[in-house]
Structure 1
Amino acid sequence: MPNIQTSKLFWASCLALLVTSLSFGIRAGIMGQLGTDFQLSATQLGTITATAFWGFPLAVIIGGFIVDVIGMKRLLVMAFVFHLAGIALTIFATGYWTLFFSTLLIGIANGTVEAACNPLVATLYPDDKTTRLNYFHLWFPGGIVIGTLLVTLLIHLGIGWQVQVALMLIPTLIYGFLFSKLEFPVTERVSSGFSSGDMYKAVVSPLFLFMVLCMFMTGITELFTGQWISLLLKNVTENAILLVTLTAGMQVLGRAFAKPIVKKLAPAGVLLFSAIFSAAGLYMLSTFTGNSIFFAAVIFGIGVCYFWPTMIGFVAENIPQSGALGLNLMGGAGMFAVSVFTMFMGGYYDGLIVKHLPAGADLGAYTASAGGSAEATALDAAKNLAGPEVLQVTLILPLILIAAFGGLVVYMRSRKAKQVIN
């Protein structure tokens, strides 16, 4: 690859993903503040959160179709522009609709980053795809850790959420500058000589469609819980935002040490391990109270840490003909599922809260009630019951995944045995 600076491209990709994850971490931390400042219900907050997950699949799927044509560099310039616009609109938000559109723009930027960077990492490291994708995706939980700790510190210092959001401009400007200066390779599918026809056949193969279905559930298990955990459990523990930080911290550690685990278990085995720990962690989060809930967050973090990069790595290694489109359809499927689930669960959560309030209670009136009043106390008690119930509904998904990935391990072993015989 002439003039291709592999490590610089990799680190610039990590910075771009850091901006993506900061947007998740900071938004998860300021959700309560936005709800208070703009008097938004859980349904409205759910819709605002969901728009990031709409923008992402939209961008990542369109990016998957055009990345081979326009190149990864042009796609990343587009991501930079969308990030700048989305961050600026959030800082100057005046209410529900400006928050809605700013979050949509950031979601489109985030999806465009993954649309370019997943195939870029797979192209740069053709013999070490799953491990390198784990290293790259380490920066997603890494940014969530940085974002939630920053939010906690700045709230403690009395600094407003606008400044918290503005901090994302620093890594955005750096990654934009780096990518503008670097040369890019063509995608691996193009360099390997697989045709567009091969690519389209690969993305409708039974194995690929099975992985897409599983991606719906792995995406929801990881990202819905990560975004909503501080909101759902803020009445169970005083430091709910630190649950997000702890879960993400475990993901950073897990992905940093992915190489021996991927080598030992193979991608399918890693996914089965992840499903078992995710189910155990979600169950604990929905039932434990007091300080033991932080242990639950550690178990859950270990569970979800390998899901996203290993799903993409599995496709890159075992269905390489699917190319950038295959990787991006996987990412898009995960985010699309999260957007639908988040919107549904926002309304479901409101419904659970109403169920736990006195008969005939108006949720809007209770939400607007003064702190310390009887209504505010009743609302806190209702949320205390409703949050864990939402997590128990979500628990169904990793339980299904245990069976699905158990089957995948058996299938991949039999496939490997046939290849050895042949």
Structure 2
Amino acid sequence: MQATPQRQQLFVASCLALLVTSLSFGIRAGILSRLGVEFELNAAQLGTIAATAFWGFPLAVVIGGFVVDIIGMKRLLIVAFLFHLAGIALTIFAGGYWTLFISTLCVGIANGTVEAACNPLVATIYADNKTTKLNHFHLWFPGGIVIGTLLVYFLDKAGIGWQIQVGLMLIPTILYGYLFSKLSFPVTERVASGVSTGEMYKSLFNPLFIFMIILMFGTAITELFTGQWIDVLLKNVSDNAILLLTIETGIMVLGRAFAEPVVHRFSPAGVLLISAILSAAGLYLMGHTTGNMLFVGAIVFGMGVCYFWPTMLGFVSENLPKTGAVGLNLMGGAGMFAVSVYMIFMSGYYDNLLAAKLPAGASLAEYSNAPAGTDMANALGEAKKLAGPEILNATLVIPIILSVAFAGLLIYMRNKNKGNSTVVNVG
């Protein structure tokens, strides 16, 4: 298939759009606990606000997947641009729980719309090298989280407020909106290759696709829940909890940048198996160690999750191409939906853990509002030090299950490919 002559410009603009998506995750992760203090929100409310981005995302990515072939990728990205502008502005002027909820929902819808258009766009303009280029595209997700968390860290040190930190996202937003408005877009790969809409929907019931959707639940939760909550969970275990996220995501940037030799050496299924094993090891270290070993855990965990999201999409695009844009976007939507449900459940579980570790009959709300340095505040700090790693240990079960599942997938794909090569040789 012939690539559009504006391929490189489209790819750069796509990366800028994804940068805004990831900055929203990185900056929100950095300011989440501060929003809780400023607006007097408990962990369950913070979890619901953070989760809103995750269920706004699947809502947009799934709807976008169904309409992208009808309205075109360009119009979809204009919608993303408008929702990003609205979400960022509403966050800056937030006055409490509901304004934060609505603004995060807008950003989540924008983020999902970006992926609904850009994943099939990248797969279309790089049809000859999908998994590698999807990894290169998705390196801007951890890349933006690194930039976002570092911005929060250094601007906090300089005494610059969170509203300005959020406002910085307007710069790449305006840039990507301008670039996309000037470029022409190809039709999606599925349309260009002549696969009918009916054939595309029929292919969604392929057992391998359904299996990959289920595994996407686990890979997304492992990567995104841990990243979004690491500051809350480990703040009382480490003085530099947000830097753990920066290290983890920095490793992800490097891994995705050099994805090509890794993917070609181990195959997508092999990469996913190695990723699951390393993710489990990293989570175990972060949940069972303190001090410098926490940073070792963050490095191992970053090596594990770095290939999950783009390689899952690349696997489906390469092995189930008839699923088209809908297949890619159902994968993304499934992942984000799973994270939103898991985050709401675990934030409530976290509050229950804290309450159980306080003196009998103690009110969690009362302890949360206690002045710093008091016995009540110190008791809450000790409870958090114990509860955070317990959440990580509960999540550890997921990559362990994934390791078994991906081992099965690797064996299945090797047998399938061996059978295909035998048929070719006989012929």
Same topology, TM > 0.5: yes
Question: Partners of 1:205 and 1:362 in 2: how far apart?
Answer: 51
Encode CA deviations 1:87-135: one digit per residue, 9 max, x unaligned.
Answer: 0000000000000000000000000000000000000001100000000
1:257-296 equivalence runs, <5 A: 257-296=258-297
- The match for 1:143 is 144
Question: Partners of 1:118 and 1:365 in 2: how far apart?
Answer: 46
Corresponding residue SS for 2:174:
helix
* Alignment CA distance shift 1:359-1:37 (3 Å): same
Question: Partners of 1:43 and 1:151 in 2: how far apart?
Answer: 23
Question: 1:4 touches 1:183 (CA, 8 Å); kept in 2?
Answer: no
Question: 2:145 touches 2:246 (CA, 8 Å); kept in 1?
Answer: yes
- The match for 1:192 is 193
Encode CA deviations 1:44-85: one digit per residue, 9 max, x unaligned.
Answer: 000000000010000000000000000000000000000000
Following superposition, the deviation at residue 32 of structure 1 comes to 1.2
1:266-345 equivalence runs, <5 A: 266-345=267-346
Corresponding residue SS for 1:40:
coil
Question: 2:131 touches 2:311 (CA, 8 Å); kept in 1?
Answer: yes
Question: Partners of 2:132 and 2:138 in 1: how far apart?
Answer: 10
- The match for 2:89 is 88
Following superposition, the deviation at residue 2 of structure 1 comes to 8.6
**AA matched with 1:183:** S
Encode CA deviations 1:319-375: one digit per residue, 9 max, x unaligned.
Answer: 000000000000000000000000000100000001110001100000111011110
Question: Partners of 1:229 and 1:163 in 2: how far apart?
Answer: 23
Question: Partners of 2:3 and 2:258 in 1: how far apart?
Answer: 31
**AA matched with 1:267:** P
- The match for 1:35 is 36
**AA matched with 1:122:** A
**AA matched with 1:33:** R
- The match for 1:252 is 253
* Alignment CA distance shift 1:3-1:218 (3 Å): closer
Question: 1:278 touches 1:301 (CA, 8 Å); kept in 2?
Answer: yes
- The match for 1:230 is 231
Question: Partners of 2:358 and 2:319 in 1: how far apart?
Answer: 51
1:4-403 equivalence runs, <5 A: 4-403=5-404
* Alignment CA distance shift 1:325-1:3 (3 Å): closer
Corresponding residue SS for 1:220:
helix
Question: 1:18 touches 1:171 (CA, 8 Å); kept in 2?
Answer: yes
Encode CA deviations 1:290-344: one digit per residue, 9 max, x unaligned.
Answer: 1110011000000000000000000000000000000000000000000000000
Question: Partners of 1:21 and 1:263 in 2: how far apart?
Answer: 27
Question: 1:4 touches 1:184 (CA, 8 Å); kept in 2?
Answer: no
Question: Partners of 2:250 and 2:103 in 1: how far apart?
Answer: 27
**AA matched with 2:33:** G
Question: Partners of 1:262 and 1:291 in 2: how far apart?
Answer: 31
**AA matched with 2:260:** K
Following superposition, the deviation at residue 213 of structure 1 comes to 0.2
TM norm structure 2: 0.98
Corresponding residue SS for 1:350:
helix
Following superposition, the deviation at residue 166 of structure 1 comes to 0.2
Question: Partners of 1:406 and 1:2 in 2: how far apart?
Answer: 35
Unaligned regions of 5+ residues in structure 1, if any?
A: none
Question: Partners of 2:387 and 2:204 in 1: how far apart?
Answer: 39
Question: 1:4 touches 1:185 (CA, 8 Å); kept in 2?
Answer: no
Question: Partners of 1:240 and 1:124 in 2: how far apart?
Answer: 39
Question: Partners of 2:37 and 2:386 in 1: how far apart?
Answer: 21
Question: 1:202 touches 1:322 (CA, 8 Å); kept in 2?
Answer: yes
Question: Partners of 1:154 and 1:393 in 2: how far apart?
Answer: 33
- The match for 2:418 is 417
Following superposition, the deviation at residue 3 of structure 1 comes to 6.2
RMSD: 0.7
Question: Partners of 2:84 and 2:249 in 1: how far apart?
Answer: 22
Following superposition, the deviation at residue 4 of structure 1 comes to 3.7
Corresponding residue SS for 1:185:
coil
Corresponding residue SS for 1:369:
coil
Question: 2:4 touches 2:125 (CA, 8 Å); kept in 1?
Answer: no
Following superposition, the deviation at residue 198 of structure 1 comes to 1.2
**AA matched with 1:102:** S
Question: Partners of 1:339 and 1:225 in 2: how far apart?
Answer: 12
**AA matched with 1:338:** V
Corresponding residue SS for 1:146:
helix
Question: Partners of 2:286 and 2:205 in 1: how far apart?
Answer: 37
Question: Partners of 2:10 and 2:342 in 1: how far apart?
Answer: 34
Question: Partners of 1:122 and 1:327 in 2: how far apart?
Answer: 10
Following superposition, the deviation at residue 419 of structure 1 comes to 0.6
**AA matched with 1:310:** T
Question: Partners of 1:70 and 1:153 in 2: how far apart?
Answer: 42
Question: Partners of 2:241 and 2:36 in 1: how far apart?
Answer: 16
Corresponding residue SS for 2:190:
helix
Encode CA deviations 1:206-235: one digit per residue, 9 max, x unaligned.
Answer: 000000000000000000000001110011
Runs of 4+ in 1 over 4 A off after TM superposition: none
Question: Partners of 1:105 and 1:292 in 2: how far apart?
Answer: 38
Question: Partners of 2:422 and 2:37 in 1: how far apart?
Answer: 64
Corresponding residue SS for 1:90:
helix
